[in-house]
Structure 1
Amino acid sequence: MKRRNFIRISALGTLITGSGLSASCMGKIADSNLEDITDIAVVGGTPAGIMAAIAAARMGSKVILTEYHSHLGGMTTSGLGKSDIENKEAIAGLFKEFTEKVLQYYIDKYGENSNNIKLCKEGYYYEPSVAELVFNQMIAAEKNIKLLFNYQLEEAELESGKITKLGFKDRKTGENKFLKAEAFVDATYEGDVFALAGAAYRLGREGKEEFNEAHAGHIFFDFNEKAFLEGGSGKEDSRLPAYTYRLCMTDDPENSYVLTDPPHGYDRSNYVAYFKDLEEGRLSAPKVFKEGHGYYADHFDTMVRVFSFTEIPNRKYDVNINPRPLGFPFVGENYVYPESDWASRERIFQRHRELTLGLIYFVQNDPEIPEEQRNLAKKYHLPKDEFTDNEHFPWQLYIREARRLKGKYTLTENDVTLNGDAQRTTVFEDTIITGEFPIDSFPVSKVPSKDNKVLEGYIGMYEISPYQIPYRILVPEKVLGLIVPVAASTTHVAYSTVRMEPLWMGIGQVAGIAAHLSRKLQVEIKDVPVLQLQDILIKNHQILTYFKDIDRADKAFDAVQFWGTKGFFNSYLARTKEKLSYQDYNLWLSILRNMPNMPKDLSAGKPSKSVETVSISTIKKLTQALNKSGDLNLNADSWLYNKREKESEVLRGEACLAMYQLYQNTSLT
């Protein structure tokens, strides 16, 4: 029997056998007849996993998508009924397609002028059942996708450092089943695939000094004043932000599932600390009111404020559990979760479910709570028409952070914030999407600050600037054949902004396209040509570079997106309709010259220092210099906003577009 480098890993990360074993030693994976073979296997029916599967399938790859639960959609279909996105212009692609389908559902069902259309916020707010319906329809429309529910990941097989096969247990039948694929996508919240494959990962918080991050490590942070509080050491630890369930509730009596009895495991002592929060004002109004952030005036200074409500269609609410009171009981319940086996994870699911149902019961029924507050709480209940196979309770625990991959690059707080005099966050040549949500971490420990303002580790909605995400954070340091769109390579602080479902949908789209390119071009995922990947993403309406002053109607939009990853712009203003200065032209020309396959001696159209702006004729000379063979179809009409005399001044957007066409025709052909 021919020997080969082989590793099989099982039980969520336990090494079973080492390298150098023969094929006959491969155990049950090799011997099983219950094996599916596909082009790309996506593990995790999260929104990122769904979009990865769709993107790869539309490119022509056969895809198998597996999910541990019996439902698709992760948090988006399990209570998180509003899209965590502050700037709708920053994320597009398949996420935008999802919101458009949500909007169309409400239009078709209720009419364009209905109240539900207003409440769905252009498709960005939705009922869990509607989000699941839309996801199911999007998956069903793709003939190249096979969907497998109730698949519990158990083991991984590697050959020469590359994943070749994954082993699962069918949670319904108990059978062992296996997937063989050319490329794998780890779209789990927990990073289970890369952990099983032996990839390096981070768990917990980095210390402040490791990456020089201001908000790293042990921290007390005033979410109102956006200021550090006394007592934070900045030291690293293995702790995680608290997990909770995100609830869907209704104020419609006809659709209410009422908790008439204490839930299993109910213990009033878990919640009595909230009385101190109420007494000392921590359940009062926020300092700054923002629409859609779960604030209702009649809840302020009542026990109902332990929840945060955001209205969604059909008399329902996306209900978060307010992490700001010191009585918040969920901290620490999840510390062992990421590296636990499935039986232990199920117990953690149950514990969080009991704590959550207990909190609802407490605010509605505890005799120490004033009657008027109890009556206010009794307006809201679990909806009968949601989660109908789970006693109307969400099925997905909100895994805010678990393992994080150690990839080819680690995204840090310094990459997502403005530093010094910079007018733009870090520019990455291998950018694949824009992120924009504030840094937002739930409490990490139950220790309060000395002034009793906040629990340790809570960083609430610390606003940052839109930032670029490099492809390298999706690629493991060593394990081959795998891409990771969810538990990606970031620090704890950076993950607190990356961990949003709209962004994950976009990154999932990237992962699916990259996995397809890997197998089509027969290259490793780490070696997928980023320029080709970016070209496909731009054509699929992904936002690579955020600007404040340009929209998709601008003729140069795609070109500006691309050059924004290469250093053309030092701020969030593209200024496409302004005249191009010679200073910027020189910079742009030097960047163009250094692109792959471009002539290094490119100097045609070099400007005269005596003139401050560039003419159309200068750009024409540049295109002619690269068109000596006459093969390029680059007439001025294709890149000018409007016809003008050749000595007219060229606009920035026009020059951007001309150079983009030059690059595409010269480099990608």
Structure 2
Amino acid sequence: MVDDAEGRTLDVMIYGATASGVTAAIAAARAGLRVAVVEAGPHVGGMVSGGLGWTDLGDHDVIGGLALEFYEQVGRHYGVETWGVLGPEPHVAERIFRDWLRDAGVGVVFNARLDYVQREGRSIQWITTEDGQNFMARVFIDASYEGDLLARAGVPYAVGRESVEQHGESWAGRQPIRPGQHNFSVPVSPFDEHGELLPFIHRRPMAPEGSEDQGVQAYGFRLCLTDRPENQTPFPRPEAYDPGEFELLRRYLAAAGPGLRADRLMSLSGRLPNGKCDANSIGPFSTNLLDGSSWEYPDADYRRRQEIRDHHLRYTQGLLYFLSNDPGVPEHIRTEMSRWGLCSDEFTDTGHWPHQLYVREARRMRGEYTLTQADLDEGREQYDSVGMGSYNIDIREVQRVWMWVPRSMNLAAETFNEGYLSVPVQSYQIPYRSLVPRYHECDNLIVSVCVSASHVAFASVRMEPQYMILGHAAGLAAVLAVRDDVAVQGVSIPRLQHELTAQRQILSQTQPAADRPGEAE
């Protein structure tokens, strides 16, 4: 699916074939523009086709536009009503996205990592990929999880957690150590017999509570597993497997006792069609890797990112093999874990392991407007709303640490996870200003994933249906910028909103019934 776009001037060039990048491309192409997508890897759909089958919906009544169209197609594929399944199988999601792109005449250039961005004044002129291809366009959209295009274009961005004071956010900064299902419920020592920290514990000292740091949410792989033997590939023993790396987990299992179930170590409840499961992180020791390696990822070069990805994959492979086979794991947990395996019909080009690392958070643009906790808490009215969000402020663990704890008149070193937070929010409007840089910093770039938001607000925005909503908005905004020959900051908001609502996007909860979604033709 390679386009002939190299070397010619496009109307819109999208970097990143995530679900957000796909909806941006479809919106612009259906309007008649010349569009191409440049993708660093070999797949389309990002996490939606990369293991995140269980759809993080929030309020599905505010999911409209192309996001809704996608889930309608999912329903039709399985012969059920929209939202009749929790989400598509990964290969089904990718097939839908590829069909969309083909039918819209959008070419995708695969395995083309961004190398260089040429600017002239406020505008991006062209981009060059590592293999020497050049792509010129009038408007560029960054739909990557990492924000590489915005960064190479010189647009300011943030990485990590802001302090409580920066935006007046009560949930900002380094968090207190909270009890709960994502933390250790029993004391577990972090040190080996030589006084060295065990693997998978962050070695950096914690910042003071409420202060800023470089912490981002933990990464991991969302696994597509099955308990149907006829479609099952057993968890293989990884190369260079070292069960000693999981000593911390072994200690936790021993301390927790026989009442600990397998579903407290890995969430296996996200059932998908055809006997499959989206295995998510749960419990204090899970598929999320909490050693701080995700902190380095956003600004790392491609070589280092690949090393971090490989580190996460080896960890995940070792974890599954350990839980299924190690004699230090209680028999009832080994038995339950051995009931599951990788899906033989998924991820067939990567040994049935997901091709997409779950980059929950990387760079966040500093744009015309920064969405913050107050926007979510108060449901602030945004005059330039281009879509709505509704999912919890969902911050997965940021790091695993150790602390001295008083026990029986003595101090004991114990292990804790820090950063997890889940706070319900009301449905809120997402302003167009959070998708564009400040005018003097770049006038032809729109960002649909690494949007301008605080760490706290981004934790709600980051869900895939909302990324698709923002991709749709970015694509139509690019159409108006090209047709009117204006900067992306100069796009007519009333016209953009009119086009979006005509395509069933939900911009407010008070939207007239006539402008609310019906079934797509």
Map 1:556-635 → 2, pairs under 5 A: none
Equivalent residue in structure 2 for 1:342, among 297, 302, 313 = 302
Partners of 1:323 and 1:546 in 2: CA distance: 36
Partners of 1:257 and 1:326 in 2: CA distance: 21
Q: Which has the higher contact order (CA 8 A, sep 6+)?
A: 2
Map 1:74-89 → 2, pairs under 5 A: 74-89=46-61
The aligned length equals 479
Partners of 1:62 and 1:223 in 2: CA distance: 53
Deviation of 1:121 after TM superposition, in Å, equals 4.2
Letter in 1 for 2:310: Q
Where does the alignment leave 5 or more consecutive residues of structure 1 unmatched? 1-32, 170-174, 285-299, 419-424, 559-669
- In structure 2, relative to structure 1, the CA distance for the partners of 1:134 and 1:465 (3 Å cut) is same
Partners of 2:61 and 2:278 in 1: CA distance: 23
Map 1:229-378 → 2, pairs under 5 A: 233-260=209-236, 262-278=237-253, 301-309=260-268, 310-322=270-282, 324-325=284-285, 329-378=289-338
Partner of 1:463: 424
Tell me the TM-score normalized by structure 1: 0.68
Partners of 1:444 and 1:267 in 2: CA distance: 25
- In structure 2, relative to structure 1, the CA distance for the partners of 1:523 and 1:323 (3 Å cut) is farther
Letter in 2 for 1:54: I
Partners of 2:85 and 2:100 in 1: CA distance: 15
Report the secondary structure of 1:60's partner residue. coil
Partners of 1:328 and 1:53 in 2: CA distance: 32
Deviation of 1:278 after TM superposition, in Å, equals 3.8
Where does the alignment leave 5 or more consecutive residues of structure 2 unmatched? 183-206, 406-413
Partners of 1:104 and 1:353 in 2: CA distance: 34
Partners of 1:329 and 1:195 in 2: CA distance: 26
Partners of 1:279 and 1:496 in 2: CA distance: 34
Percent identity among equivalent residues? 36
Report the secondary structure of 1:40's partner residue. strand
Report the secondary structure of 2:60's partner residue. coil
- In structure 2, relative to structure 1, the CA distance for the partners of 1:371 and 1:378 (3 Å cut) is same
Equivalent residue in structure 2 for 1:189, among 123, 132, 145 = 145
State the structure with more CA Rg: 1
Partner of 2:25: 53
Q: Is the 8 A contact 1:191 1:487 kept in 2?
A: yes
Letter in 1 for 2:391: F
1:532 matched to 2:495? The reply is yes
Partner of 2:366: 406
Partner of 1:214: 170
- In structure 2, relative to structure 1, the CA distance for the partners of 1:47 and 1:323 (3 Å cut) is farther
Equivalent residue in structure 2 for 1:159, among 97, 120, 123 = 120
Q: Is the 8 A contact 1:272 1:327 kept in 2?
A: no
Q: Is the 8 A contact 1:45 1:66 kept in 2?
A: yes
Equivalent residue in structure 1 for 2:89, among 115, 127, 131 = 127
Partners of 2:382 and 2:486 in 1: CA distance: 22
Partners of 1:146 and 1:328 in 2: CA distance: 34
**Could you report, residue by residue, the CA deviation over 1:271-308 in whole angstroms, capped at 9, with x for unpaired residues?**
23224444565x99xxxxxxxxxxxxxxx722453211
Tell me the TM-score normalized by structure 2: 0.87
Deviation of 1:259 after TM superposition, in Å, equals 2.7
Partner of 2:157: 201
Q: Is the 8 A contact 2:446 2:488 kept in 1?
A: yes
Deviation of 1:258 after TM superposition, in Å, equals 1.1
- In structure 2, relative to structure 1, the CA distance for the partners of 1:236 and 1:376 (3 Å cut) is same
Letter in 2 for 1:521: D
Letter in 2 for 1:435: G
- In structure 2, relative to structure 1, the CA distance for the partners of 1:194 and 1:235 (3 Å cut) is same
**Could you report, residue by residue, the CA deviation over 1:113-153 in whole angstroms, capped at 9, with x for unpaired residues?**
xxxx8xx942541110111111111111102x121111111
Partner of 1:397: 357
- In structure 2, relative to structure 1, the CA distance for the partners of 1:147 and 1:329 (3 Å cut) is closer
Deviation of 1:443 after TM superposition, in Å, equals 1.4
Partners of 1:307 and 1:530 in 2: CA distance: 45
Letter in 2 for 1:105: H
- In structure 2, relative to structure 1, the CA distance for the partners of 1:442 and 1:448 (3 Å cut) is farther
Partners of 2:287 and 2:13 in 1: CA distance: 43
Deviates more, 1:124-133 or 1:150-159: 124-133
